[in-house]
A = this chain, B = another copy of it.
Amino acid sequence: MGSLKEANKIEGVATQPLKEITDSLGSVLHMLRNDSPLFNKFGEIYFSETNPKTIKAWKLHKKITQNIAVPIGKIRLVIYDNRPTSSTHGNIAEYQIGRYSNYYLIHIPPMLWYGFQSLENRKSLIVNCTDLPHDPSESLLLPLDSGEIPFQWDLTK
C-alpha cells in the first residue's frame, strides 16, 4: 500500500487505506462497513466508469455525502473547497487513488466541487456509496474550463 500525497487538506474530507486480500482465485477488496466512522447512513450505491484518458468534471452535491473507492484502474480525484465559512476555503486537494498501490476510500462531504480523470489506458471504475439516493435537483455542474475553479487539468496525462 502506497501512501496518499495530499498537497492541501480540505475540512471534512477523510481518507482511509482499504484492504486488499489477495488470493490465487481473485482478490477480495474491502470498501465500507456500517461500523466505520466514515459511514453515516445508506442512500445509494452506484458506479461511474471513466473511459481511458477521460475527465469527468466539475460537479457539486448540495446535500449528499460520498464515499468513493476505485477497485479497477486508477484516477486523479480533485476537490475544490469554495465553502465561504470553511477553514480550508480556497484549497484544492488532489488524490491519485486506485489499484494497486493506492487503494483508498475518500469521504467527501457536500458543497465541495470535485472531478476525476482516468489515469490508465483502460476504463476505471469509481464506486460511490452515498448517504442519500440520486436526486437530479441536488447537484450543480460546471464545465471543465469555466475558469471559476483554480485548477488546470493536464489533458496530456
Chain A residues packing against B (C-beta within 8 Å)? 24-35, 39, 41-51, 54-56, 71-72, 118, 123-125, 127, 129, 133-134
Chief secondary structure at chain A's binding surface: strand
CA distance A55 to B25 in the complex (A): 7
Known contacts being A33-B134, A72-B125, A125-B72, is A26 close to B54, with CB within 8 Å? yes
Known contacts being A28-B47, A47-B29, is A35 close to B133, with CB within 8 Å? yes
- Residue numbers in B under 8 Å from A26 (CB-CB): 48-51, 54, 56, 118, 123-124
Q: 19 other contacts beyond A25-B51, A47-B127, with CB at 8 A cut-off?
A: A25-B50, A25-B54, A26-B49, A26-B50, A26-B54, A26-B56, A27-B48, A28-B47, A29-B48, A29-B49, A30-B46, A32-B45, A33-B43, A35-B133, A39-B42, A45-B45, A45-B129, A49-B71, A127-B127
